[in-house]
Amino acid sequence: MSFSSDPFLMKTVVRSQRGFTLVEIMIVVAIIGLIAAIAIPGVMRARARAQENTCMDNLRLVDGAKQQWALENRASSTATPTGPQIQPYIGRASGVLPLCPSDPAQTFATSYDVNDMSTSPSCKNVPTHALP
């Protein structure tokens, strides 16, 4: 077997470069950006709706505890219970007062106004969070 130095007889090895071109990468990034632009507002709306529902549930819980406190203590319609007074009636095993998820301070005092017996409790952070 003899080897020839003739370039026409030699096998040429073609190297194919695998990978993505810049245009292909830019198209993928654009598609991901478009999907994110569509999805993010929906996620934000769902988050706000979930926070509102949690706050409404907490207001119902506070109102029920307030009514139980008034019944047991024979309070008048002008009486205003405090957080520690209604805490045993909240019905949570830990006895922790609820917090508004929109409250940056995350304390009961900055989350809710208990109000007097003739007025429903209200959220201090978001005025639209209110019992009907």
Answer left, alpha or beta for residue 95, where phi above 0 means left and psi between -120 and 50 means alpha: left
| Helix H or strand E segment including 113 | strand 112-113
In this predicted structure, what is the pLDDT of residue 19? 85
- Enumerate the H helices of 1-132 as residue ranges: 22-73, 83-86, 108-111
Using a cut of 0.75, tell me whether the model's pTM lies above it.
no
Residue-level pLDDT, tens digit, the chain, 132 residues: 555 565 555 566 566 678 889 999 999 999 999 999 999 999 999 999 999 999 999 999 999 999 999 999 999 989 999 988 999 888 766 678 899 998 999 899 999 999 999 999 999 998 888 887
Q: How far apart are CA 100 and CA 105, in angstroms?
A: 10
Q: How many residues appear in the chain?
A: 132
In this predicted structure, what is the pLDDT of residue 1? 52
- Enumerate the H helices of 75-119 as residue ranges: 83-86, 108-111
Residues 6+ apart with CB under 8 A from 126: 52, 55, 100, 102
CA distances from 5 to 13, 14, 82 (A): 16, 19, 100
CA distances from 54 to 3, 6, 18 (A): 83, 83, 52
In this predicted structure, what is the pLDDT of residue 74? 92
Question: Are 129 and 52 spatial neighbours (Cβ–Cβ below 8 Å)?
Answer: yes
